[in-house]
Amino acid sequence: MSHIAYVNGRYLPQRLAQLSIDDRATQFADAVYEVTCIWNCAPVDHAAHLARLARSLEAIRIAAPCSAAGLTAICREVVERNRIERGTIYIQVSRGVAPRAHPFPADMIRPGLVITGKHGVGPSESVADQGVKVIAIPDARWGRCDIKTTGLLGNVLARQAAVEAKAFEALLYRPDGFVTEASASNAWIVDADGIIVTHPLGPEILGGVTRTTVLNLIRAAGYKVEERPFTLEQARTAREVFLTGTTTFVMPVVQIDAGVIANGVPGTICRDLRRRYRAYVEQSTASEAAWAT
């Protein structure tokens, strides 16, 4: 089956989809994006993803390409045309096409909009049951990680380092030793007192949509949670470590570099949160309300 993409007003086979070489997404990574999980043919946390997209657009002063309702209609069409039951949709909005120059174009230009779909989502349950290894590397990204831009070279290099180390992810830390997040997911620990800890919102991290949902699930379950920085050393000696993300869900970490976390198996809190999140995903995508904006 040919994958169908939406590109600037047209639905067409993905192999035929093209962008202008003068699109500012190509020249400058002058674009923002979102990735949403599709489950049961419906999006997970759709409204929250659109809200974050709007914040990213506002932060870099790109006009919205259409209304939230219009964007939803296109996303839905991409899901239906590609017959995605479980997978992801990718939304990218660029500043548009203009002759190459660093400043914003003087004349008003139309934002570029690309939406694609993909079958399959996240690692298998067997991977989560065993837990994963991560590596720790310095965070070399820019200073506005809270904006979800397509300029991901720092993340790409970190993730490639993880692949070469046969690890699932790269845990990023600043010169002061504090962990920010991972290359494509938010990072969490359970400390010696049983308190769940994750980095607070700010320019150092991307405020994950899954992060917010998991925070709500944590509080509803009665666990203690604090949004504060933690160090790499605290992560290495934590009772539990885990990651959250759109395609990662809740992923237990059982090893950082050569060091094993606790007894080397996924902890009880992490396993419980993964179960709760999976139940949330199933429930939230079971009705038409999943597409609400």
| Residues with catalytic function | 148
Which residue do the tokens 């309702």 mark? 69
155-164 burial code (b ≥16 CB/10 A, e <16): beebbeebee
Angle, nearest 10°, between helix axes 46-59 and 209-221?
130
Q: Considering only CA atoms, which of 150, 153, 211, 151 is closest in space to residue 181?
A: 211
Q: Cβ neighbours of residue 164 under 8 Å, at least 6 residues apart?
A: none
Q: Considering only CA atoms, which of 123, 114, 122, 121 is closest in space to residue 92?
A: 114
CA angle 273, 278, 283 (to 5 degrees): 125
Q: Name the strand (E) or helix (H) holding 113.
A: strand 112-119
Q: Considering only CA atoms, which of 137, 149, 159 is closest in space to residue 33?
A: 149
Q: Decide the pairing of beta strands 42-43 and 31-39.
A: antiparallel
Which residue do the tokens 């390409």 mark? 65
Cβ proximity of 238 and 187 under 8 Å: no
Q: Considering only CA atoms, which of 64, 90, 92 is closest in space to residue 78?
A: 90
Pairwise CA distance, residues 47 & 293, whole Å: 5
Which structure tokens are listed for 57?
């657009």
